[in-house]
Amino acid sequence: MEEPLDSPVSIPREAAASVVHLRAEIPDQHPTAAILGAERYGAGVATAPHEVLTAHYLVLGAARSRVTGLDGQTRSVTRARVDHETGLALLALEGPPLRPARLASAVGVAPGLPVFLITCASESERKGATGHVSEVGPFEAFWEYMLDRAIMTTAVNPGLAGAPLFEPGGSVIGLVSLGLTAVGRYSLAIPLDLHLARPDFPRRAWLGFYPQGRDGGVVITGVVPGGPAEGAGIERGDLLLSVDGRPVSTLRELYQQMWRKGPGESLRLQLLRDAVIRVVEVQSGDRYDFYR
């Protein structure tokens, strides 16, 4: 394993013992298989001897998953608790116990804090990277996802997604979900508090489309096959003007309006297509059921 810190070697070595390699097998017919693949590899971190925290999309729809620890031994995943709201998944394991990482709240994390991450390059190889926190704040993504306090770091992930983010003392403060090198060399981490607090989010309305903020507006860049948006006739290229009569010009405004309602409730969308304003009624779905 490459050493990720200039501080005592014992810190990254101890942290590496909690990092696992993940392999998930997804049926070809699952809605995510065409985009994310039927075989997925990632990393995760042991939060208890028989529990691992990882990024939810790595195991979404998985028929079989397994993790391999630094000891080279493989454990079977017996249950996965997937959370679409946080983007996390908690896996229950069967097999030899793992060494759990130390966990810490990210509430006090601020720009400038030195951090390091450790991830997997393969079942047997671990890699590390260092950096600092560059920003803590709102983050919105086109797959109907939003965080209020995402952690942005200058540490560029040298391996698989799902890597834990550590503070200098070796405690996990977040889980690295994305590498955003297209818009700057940094990584996005989900704050660990969303796992520690185990918030019971209400089920949210889900439309199954891919909105993007562009030039002060929201453009639909695609729809999920078989999802509510496709069924309502929403098309790629539509400019979204309002939700239930409330104007929206950013992804955050869109999601705030959408999530006033839950699955099964209807939303009234005003769209601009081919210079014509259209009003579309969409009955929202439940993505937990859709992506089961």
Between 201 and 260, name the one with better pLDDT. 260
28 & 79 share domain: yes
Shared-domain flag, residues 217 and 278: yes
Exposed e or buried b for every residue in 48-86, given b needs 16+ CB within 10 A?
eebbbbbbbbbbbbbeebbbbbbeeebbebeebebbbbb
DSSP H helix total and E strand total for the chain: 6, 19
The answer on pLDDT for 1 being more than 70 is: no
SS3 1: coil
Residue holding tokens 């509430």? 107
Please report, rounded to a whole number, the percentage of residues in the chain having pLDDT higher than 90: 87
Whole-angstrom distance, CA of residue 208 vs CA of residue 224: 5
Residue 8 banded pLDDT, cuts 50, 70, 90 = low
Quick check: is 74 in a domain? yes
Domain that holds residue 249: 209-290
Contacts of 234 (CB under 8 A, 6+ apart): 207, 209, 220, 223, 269, 271, 280, 282
Supply the pLDDT for residue 3: 45
Tell me, yes or no, whether 190 lies in a domain.
Answer: yes
CATH of residue 174: 2.40.10.10
* Same domain as 284, residue 262: yes
Condensed to tens digits (0 to 9), the pLDDT of residues 145-155 reads 999 999 999 99
Give a yes or no: residue 233 inside a domain.
Answer: yes
Provide the b/e sequence for 89-100 (b: ≥16 CB within 10 Å).
bbbebebeebeb
Q: Which pLDDT value is given to residue 291?
A: 95
- Closest CA relative to residue 173, chosen from 156, 197, 189: 189
Q: Please indicate, yes or no, whether residues 33 and 112 belong to a single structural domain of this protein.
A: no
Predicted local confidence at residue 225, as pLDDT: 96
Q: Has residue 89 been placed in a domain? A: yes
The Cα–Cα gap between 222 and 212 comes to: 10
Looking at residue 77, its pLDDT comes to 98
Domain closes at, from 196, 231, 255: 196
The H-assigned helical ranges of 154-249 are 193-196, 228-231
Q: Measuring CA to CA, which residue among 112, 182, 120 is closest to residue 152?
A: 112
CA 65-263-252 angle, 5° bins:
90
Residue carrying structure tokens 């991830």: 119
Residues paired with residue 90 on neighbouring β-strands, in sequence order? 53, 81
Contact predicate 43/74, CB 8 Å: no
Residue at 67: amino acid letter: V
Ranges of beta strands (E only) in the chain are 19-25, 39-48, 51-55, 64-68, 74-83, 88-94, 102-103, 114-120, 126-141, 145-153, 163-166, 171-179, 187-191, 209-214, 217-223, 239-243, 246-247, 266-273, 276-283
The per-residue pLDDT for range 24-81, each reduced to its tens digit, is 999 999 999 999 999 999 999 999 999 999 999 999 999 999 999 999 999 999 999 9
Q: Are residues 111 and 158 in the same domain?
A: yes
Domain end call among 94, 114, 131 = 94
Q: Tell me, yes or no, whether 230 and 150 share the same domain.
A: no
Total domain count, the chain = 3
User: Which amino acid, 103?
Assistant: L
Written as six digits, the tokens of 147 are 């965080």
What distance in Å separates the CA atoms of residue 166 and residue 172, rounded to the nearest whole number?
4
